[in-house]
A and B are shown apart, each in its own frame.
Chain A
């Protein structure tokens, strides 16, 4: 028995060490980019691992960039409007699919599933061509409206609405409530966890998306923050503290939402992971 527990301790030590090493590979790059933002020079030999006297010059430089506030505003505007639109549209859709029987219902839902099988990124090419034809390149409508057609949200909400008991709706409809009243007053409150998950996922994904804006936008005044920082980071400047600060500011909203709603993110992985 003593032999056995000794072996257990050995195994625990090995596992513990491996997990610490793996965690370190995640903490170190994020630590290092923070150190750069605070003025640690990692570009001379030997590199500095610690910021010398905490200079916030990187943050000051990026905030003083003439377009910075505009970019932050654009990012919030795009992510929020797309998320609100996607959620309203897909919740109404999911409600109809789970609560009504009508000819063509099967076909419609099958089409949505089919669309999820096609790589979204490739679809950007013809959409880009369409927008160009419609004169919607570099417009707010062009950047905000197409991503609202979120099949992922429709799928996620359909899954959750199915588990909301239908007796409630029936009781309400006998009382004379209309479809939208039932949806917003009864179904959505019960399906709250799924709504929160879909909201967080949509918002973070759209805040992070740079490929779509890269394609649709041509002038820097409409850039979201990630795209503005990306262009600065890719054009060979030597202002590493400014770029590092920009990278950190881009990460901040997503990371805050993640830390606040970590359980919802883990739930979203399960639903989305089996379909993403």
Chain B
């Protein structure tokens, strides 16, 4: 009897403790997901609230060339970010290698390249916008003007041939430190005994890399790559600051296009349909990632 009441007392306690966060989370996170799907079935422009069924989706998927352009751009972004991961991995290998003696330098390099990650995209994006607009570009790149994919004299961010490549390079530059630190953690986790044993056996550093480091790092590399690709579908901040999707929508992303419809054109229903498609894609990618984790762990 006593035990029973104690038990229900504890349960009541538990619910009381869980409710504050859960309430806020449901109101501002879970409900909006459902609500976003709901809104995508309506025409919500100019104060109208008309149910139009799947019409928004039909428009997005069959008549919206900019949406498909944004998907094409996502592929470019994903490709560039994956290249960035390769650079991060190489950098992590260099920093952790026994060739480099100075520990202080290793710490310093990590601290420097991680720095942009703690700074707002608003400041970083403005910084690059203003630097690329200056005559520094002409001055530093002038000698190579025949080999550049853009004209000098105008910011490369406003040229259709170059904007997406420059913008994605800046995003790679910003995330390089973050990914390098992540890979360094993975490299540190490789047991020292294995490395030492292979050294005693006289394995060259190339063989060590091929036969020990790479196989042991593989799960982490796969994981970080999928996470990066999932992140690509959500890219918005740098685009909003540096190009706002331009020039001629060559740098827009699905999220950016959704926001543009909602904020600039007031088409909330249409933007929600684009948003819901993104949520569906990201969700599927997440399930894929979950499967991959299960395979490795």
Give A residues with C-beta under 8 Å from B: 8, 11-12, 15-16, 18-19, 22-23, 25-27, 29-30, 32-33, 36, 42-47, 89-90, 92-93, 95-97, 100-103, 105, 108, 111-112, 115, 117-130, 145-146, 148-149, 151, 154, 179, 204, 207-211, 214-215, 226-227, 229-230, 233-234, 240, 243-244, 247, 250-251, 254-255, 257-259, 262, 265-266, 269-270, 273-274, 276
Contacts and interface: CB of A to CB of B under 8 A. Distances in A.
A211 B263 CA distance: 11
Interface stretch (B60-68, B69-77, B78-86, B105-113): B105-113
Pick the 3 closest A-B CB pairs, nearest first: A208-B120, A93-B21, A96-B17
A43 B185 CA distance: 42
B89 interface: no
A188 to B, nearest CB: 14
A151 B130 CA distance: 35
B39 A129 contact: yes
Contacts of A208: 118-123
Nearest to B174: A26
Most chain B CB inside 10 Å of its own CB: which residue of A108, A112, A247, A259: A247
A107 to B, nearest CB: 11
Given A243-B130, A251-B120, A89 B178 contact: no
12 contacts: A26-B112, A42-B134, A100-B10, A100-B17, A111-B30, A229-B122, A229-B123, A229-B126, A243-B130, A247-B130, A250-B120, A254-B120
Given A45-B135, A100-B13, A111-B30, A123 B36 contact: yes
Contact of A149 (B24, B279, B286): B24
Contacts of B236: 121, 211
A162 to B, nearest CB: 16
B105 A125 contact: no
A92 B36 contact: no
A125 B36 contact: yes
Contacts of B185: 269-270
B116 A26 contact: yes
A111 B282 CA distance: 16
A247 B112 contact: no
A232 to B, nearest CB: 9
B228 to A, nearest CB: 11
Contacts of A229: 122-123, 126
A126 B35 contact: yes
A130 B35 contact: yes
B119 A255 contact: yes
Nearest to A209: B120
Interface of A, secondary structure class, is helix
A33 B122 contact: no
A179 B17 contact: yes
Given A33-B131, A122-B279, A229-B126, A179 B13 contact: yes
B165 interface: no
B119 A210 contact: no
B24 A265 contact: no
A129 B18 contact: no
A129 B29 contact: no
B130 A89 contact: no
A146 B28 contact: yes
Contacts of B178: 269, 273
Interface stretch (B50-58, B156-164, B192-200, B270-278): B270-278
A145 B28 contact: yes
A47 B135 contact: yes
B21 A149 contact: yes
Nearest to A18: B94
B114 interface: yes
Contacts of A204: 118
Given A22-B109, A227-B122, A276-B227, 11 more contacts: A12-B99, A22-B176, A36-B130, A93-B20, A101-B14, A108-B22, A149-B25, A243-B126, A250-B122, A262-B111, A274-B223
A233 B27 CA distance: 35
B233 interface: yes
Contacts of A42: 131, 134-136
Nearest to B220: A274
B59 to A, nearest CB: 17
A111 B26 CA distance: 9
